[in-house]
Amino acid sequence: MEIVHLLRAVAVELGLHSARFANQNGMHPTDVRALIALMDADRAGEEMTAGRLGGALGLNSAGTTALVDRLERAGQVRRVRSEGDRRRVVVEVDQRAVDLGQAFFGPLIGSAVELLQGYDERELAAIRGFLDGAREAAAEG
């Protein structure tokens, strides 16, 4: 149970860190979650429509539209035509949002990467497996 409690403590600290970022930048916590979802989709080479974003965040259509409008006004995202289907509109993170996030979260990410460099491939596979299983359990819960 000690590891489960440590995982909970890490989740709490990461949530507080994210809340500080949102507060310092006049954002709602959902705005931060949306930017993370958009950056994850981009990293995976996937396009993110507003509908898909709303689904990922558990928002209805009106809430998603308000969210994307708010982020677009703030210069954090932009709506663009899909490369594969010009009829579809996708939401993309603006480089300014990436830079803002990197400035705030970069040191934390750097510390995590540095910690992970102390583990061998077998240990990293075990860590990866545990975290992926915990994420899946939370998503199902």
- Per-residue pLDDT, averaged over 122-134, amounts to 97
**Per-residue pLDDT reduced to its tens digit, 94-122:** 999 999 999 999 999 999 999 999 999 99
Closest CA to 36 of 67, 12, 3, 81: 67
Which neighbouring-strand residues pair with 79?
91
Q: Which two tokens stand for residue 4?
A: 């489960």
What span, in angstroms and rounded, lies between the C-alpha atoms of 77 and 89?
A: 13
For tokens 């677009």, what's the residue? 72
Judged by DSSP in three states, 114 sits in helix
What span, in angstroms and rounded, lies between the C-alpha atoms of 102 and 95?
A: 10
Output the pLDDT for position 84: 83
The model's pTM is: 0.87
Which neighbouring-strand residues pair with 81?
89
Percent of the chain having pLDDT more than 70? 100
Closest CA to 97 of 73, 80, 81: 73
- Cβ–Cβ under 8 Å, residues 22 and 29: yes
**Per-residue pLDDT reduced to its tens digit, 69-93:** 999 999 999 999 988 888 899 999 9
What span, in angstroms and rounded, lies between the C-alpha atoms of 3 and 111?
A: 20
Higher pLDDT, 140 or 93: 93
